[in-house]
Structure formats: C-alpha cells, structure tokens
Amino acid sequence: MKCYICATEGKDTDAVAICIVCGMGVCMEHLVREEVEVWEGGYPFPSKKLSKTIPRILCQPCYTAYKG
C-alpha cells in the first residue's frame, strides 16, 4: 500500500500504517500517533486506568478534524 497523501502530491511512498478512522494508508511523515489511556470497569465498581496505554494512529486530515 502507498501513502495516499504522498500520492496526491505526486510522490510514490510506501505506507507504514493505516488511519484507524478513514482507512487511508499513510507514511511516517503523514501519520499522527497518540497514546490513548485505557480504563476498565464501571458500575458498580470504580473504573481503573490500566498502567499501559494503547497506540492509535490517524492520518493528518482525520487528526485535524478530531483535534481541531
């Protein structure tokens, strides 16, 4: 799979990840990786935050749409 954003710029770059929102293939330059906290539990128990986070990868357009 190729990076979609690079392709729109006329470049031919291999994708290294897929945006979890839109499914776009993205290269290292056009991805945004964030660590997301994970909470488990809930009523009738207090929820607990797990010690490790989970990585989430978005393309830049989706990241911008979500985070402004």
Partner 1 sequence: MSEYSLGKRMLAELIGTYLLVFLGAGSVITFASTLGFESPSASLFAIGFTFAVAIAVAIYTLGHVSGCHINPAVTVGLAVIKRFPLNEVVPYIAAQLAGAVLASATHLAIYGVGVAQKVSFGVTLPGAIIGNSAPIACLNEIVMTFMLMWAIMGIAVSGKSAPGWAGWGIGLIVGALIWWGGPISGTSLNPARTFGPAIMSGVWTAHWVYWVGPIIGAVIAAVIYEYIFIREKS
Residue 33: strand pairing partners: 57
Neighbours of 59 (CB within 10 A): 25
Per CB under 8 A, the list member of 9, 12, 36, 44 interacting with partner 1 is: 44
DSSP characters over 8-26: HTT---B--EE-TTT--EE
Q: Is 54 in the site for partner 1 (CB under 8 A)?
A: no
Q: Is 10 in the site for partner 1 (CB under 8 A)?
A: no
Per CB under 8 A, the list member of 1, 29, 48, 66 interacting with partner 1 is: 48
Residues that bind partner 1 (CB under 8 A): 39, 41-51
